[in-house]
Chains A and B, each alone.
Chain A
């Protein structure tokens, strides 16, 4: 075996790789499953990755439309609760928007890219457990459907205005779906991490694994440390909710359920979505200008450090007095330190640009623009996060929390667009159109930027803590800006989804796109 040969060591992976290979005989062609059956039986991780990417982009469109409606409520054009038909319905959509962007859009989008790309980057024929990857996709999809259906049936993660018996049952279903989605994402993460650890080429040290594969290994480790804590919380809430009547943890008539899970979408845990963004950005910049980092091990350390600062299971503050935890040195240190690896990584990306070919075409390439936009938004989010933990600024329980969230989420979406463009071959699609790619990146950057800015300034303006942004005094202009930002994000998500779907129809690379 030479260094250039794939080191397929596991029989399952080998059989999976076989599934991806071109059929050699007419018998094999005859035995191949139909197009409709393929998504249910495939053992090719690239195909599973493509399913993840396409489905999560479609869900991104739906989620961002909910975001537009929520922002419309903030503009005072119509009262938020009237827009959705009551306090509970507004609260359901408000929580669905956050959970969905994290668990149904950004994490599966980046996991999908990883399933398709990581095996080829580390020299494996397929992921370690291809059937587990397929199970991960289907259980994630079923969980996602359960979440969406149950939320629209009156479920969700708690309520603020009392519930009926049916709504309590729907709420239990939402919890079940949330648990399913989390376990499915963990299964996919284990698959990707095992591929990097166990199936990478002989002689390839972990320190020199390609940045995206390394970032996915770090992300998988961080997910494994963080999501199980939320799953454990769901177990307690579910047991309580089914105890009839719930005693403390699963009280359907109060927002208690949400308050036990909201740490997932706040810093530092919110950064677990962002770890792969770093790997995608570095690789995209390097590929665009045709340069490699002079210190790849530095990139490895920086991504690892950011992952370490994203571990968030400890920040669950429902069971302690919130201020005890969030005024603590560790919370403040995590918030401040998260900026450092991003600054260092931006330096690494700048070094690549300086070392590479700097023609106008390359500098305006979708991948270059997207990587820059994702890093800028992520940097802005981390900067707001750092401001948020500074106690005298009094931003902790304000909309500044959502500035961080929006920055990370939109950076994740942009990274997905960059991934579609950079690894179209691995994702088994045609290259994303240049126009669509640039348009999606521009819309997402503009929308994300407006959301981060308006949420941050609103956080400074409000007199009292106001996480749900229901207090509209003094920030009407900012609320309009947030509304425009939401529309731009929705348009960007729609452009990315349409671009990916249309690329499915044109798998042959055109000359113009080859640049």
Chain B
């Protein structure tokens, strides 16, 4: 057999969407980490000067812990979706993506409860302002993650996953995991150490 008749080998670096999404995810994480850093620094400064950060008992740990558990569960379901996309298993993929979206909506709902429960005014002081800036940014990140997952779900309804869409689910999954990591920071910094 002549070697020139052989089909061209597949390129070895085909995961363009995943690489691009990982880079963008890294940038978003940097922005969020910077926000948390400002929060921690300002709280440190307030404590050093003997000022109260949040009024005693105004920030409850219960709902925040529930959100953490919800998001940890969503990490499992989003990874389930990634695996289903790899295996071309559409029924499982739909279920996993749908459940993940539901978990995301649940977290937003829980945040709404937290905002109502704390009843902070955004111009109440540095603590309140930064509370809203950090948690609001997290909610925006979560909504964008849900939008990515929704788009991949809708696209997968139109036909088999295929390589490109499977990579899209992987990219959305990576972003989702980063969102959960960011919430872990919020949970520890704002709700646990208060």
Contacts and interface: CB of A to CB of B under 8 A. Distances in A.
B2 interface: no
Interface string B12-55: 11111101100110111011111100100110010000000000
B71 to A, nearest CB: 21
A190 B30 CA distance: 14
A314 to B, nearest CB: 9
Contact of A10 (B14, B33, B38, B45): B14
Interface residues of B, number: 37
A225 B30 contact: yes
B155 interface: no
Q: Decide if the interface of chain A is mainly helix, strand, loop or mixed.
A: helix
B24 to A, nearest CB: 5
Given A243-B122, A249-B129, A190 B38 contact: no
B133 interface: yes
A390 interface: no
A7 interface: yes
A320 B41 contact: yes
A197 B19 contact: yes
B143 to A, nearest CB: 15
Contacts of A305: none
A12 B126 CA distance: 45
Given A1-B9, A244-B123, A319 B42 contact: yes
A316 B30 CA distance: 14
Nearest to A230: B34
B17 to A, nearest CB: 7
Contact of B133 (A235, A244, A320): A235
A437 to B, nearest CB: 34
A232 B17 contact: no
A20 interface: no
Residue of A11, A129, A190 with most chain B CB atoms under a 10 A cut-off: A190
A284 B97 CA distance: 50
A190 B27 contact: yes
Contacts of A7: 11, 13
A243 B123 contact: yes
Nearest to A7: B11
B41 A319 contact: yes
Contact of A190 (B11, B24, B35, B45): B24
Given A232-B38, A235-B133, 15 more contacts: A10-B17, A129-B16, A187-B24, A194-B23, A199-B13, A202-B12, A220-B23, A224-B27, A227-B27, A228-B31, A228-B34, A232-B34, A236-B35, A243-B129, A320-B41
